[in-house]
Amino acid sequence: MKRTVMVSIAVALVAGLITMMSAAFVVDQREQALVLRFGDLRRVIREPGLKFKVPFIEDAVFFDKRLLDYDNPGEEVIGADQKRLVVDAFARFHIVDPLLFYQTVGTEALLKPRLGASINSNLRRVLGTVPLQDVVSERRASLMALIRDSVREEATDFGIRVEDVRIRRADLPQENSEAIYRRMQTEREQEAAQYRAQGAEAAQRLRAEGDRKRVVIVAEADRDAQILRGEGEAESNRLFAEAFSRDPEFFAFYRSMQAYQAAFGGEHTTMVLSPDSDFFSFFRDLSGAPPAAAGTTGTAGAAGLQ
C-alpha cells in the first residue's frame, strides 16, 4: 500500500514538474514573444523575464527585437544613360509588430526574398531615372533616402520598420569593366608614347645644342691656340733673330749642329749631296769658311762623310 502511494506521489511530482516546465518560459532581453493558443494570439510579450502560459495548449514564438541586417545580392540596374550597373545593397530593420510579422512572413528566413524583391524593385525604379554619374556622386545620399522611404512604406505590411537602405558597392559589369580597363590602358600607353616622344625630342634638341656649343668651344679654343702658338713662334723667331744679330757665327754653328743631329740621328743614314754643299761647311772647317779650291773641298768633304 505504501509502495503504491509512493509511486503515485512520484508520478504526480514528475507530471507536475513537466507541467511546470511546459508552462514556464523565459523571454530574453533581446527578444519579444507571442503566446498563441491553437494558432490564435493570446498576448504579446515585449518585456524580458520569466513568463507562464497554459501548458500543452499555448505555444510561445520568439522574435528578435534588435536591429537586424539584410544583405541584398548584387543586382544589375540600367541607368537613364543606358549604362548597366551592378548594385550591392543592404538594409537594416526592426520587427515592430511581431504578430503581423508572424502572420505575413512567419520567420526571418522567409522575410529575405520578399524584402529583397522590394529593395530590387525600388533600386531599379529610382536609379533607372538618373545617369550613372549621379549614383557615384554627392547625389547618392538623396537617392538612397528615396529608396529607403519606398522600401519602408512597403515593409510596413510585414510588421517591420526599415531603418536604412544603403549601397555597399556600385560597379560596372565584369565585361564592361574589362573593356574600360583596356581603353584606359590604351589611353595610358598613348600618353606614355607621347611623353617618350616629347622626351626624345627634348633630348635630341639638348644634344644638338650641346654639340653646337662643343664645336664653338673647340673652334674658339683652336683659334686661341693658333694665336698663342703664332705669338710664341713670333717671340721665338724674335729671340733667334736677336741672338743671331749678337753672334752670327755661333748661331750658324748652333743651328748646323742641330741640323746634323736631326739628319744623322738614325742608325743607318744615307745622304746624297754635293761635297761642296754648305751643309758640310763645319765638316771642312770649324769656322765654317767656304773651301779655297775644288780639290781641297772634295778631299775634306770625303773625309767628313767617312
Residue ranges per domain, the chain?
21-66, 68-172, 265-305
Residue 266 has pLDDT above 70, yes or no: no
Please indicate whether residue 302 or residue 107 has the higher confidence score (pLDDT): 107
Please report which residue ranges of the chain form alpha helices under DSSP H.
2-23, 98-104, 108-127, 132-135, 140-155, 174-246, 248-263, 281-284, 294-305
Q: pLDDT confidence of 197, banded at 50, 70, 90? A: very high
Interatomic CA distance for residues 301 and 272, integer angstroms: 12
- Residue 163: the pLDDT is 92
Residue 188 contacts residue 180 (beta carbons within 8 Å): no
- Residue 306 is predicted with a pLDDT of 36
| Residue 168: band (very low, low, confident or very high) from pLDDT cuts 50, 70, 90 | confident
Asked if residue 260 has pLDDT above 60, the reply is: yes
Q: How confident is the model at residue 137 (pLDDT cuts 50, 70, 90)?
A: confident
pLDDT attached to residue 206: 92
Superfamily of domain 68-172: Band 7 domain (3.30.479.30)
* Closest by CA position to 101, among listed 133, 130, 68: 68
To 10 degrees, what angle do helices 174-246 and 248-263 make? 130
State residue 300's pLDDT score.
38
Q: How far is CA 9 from the centre of its chain?
A: 83
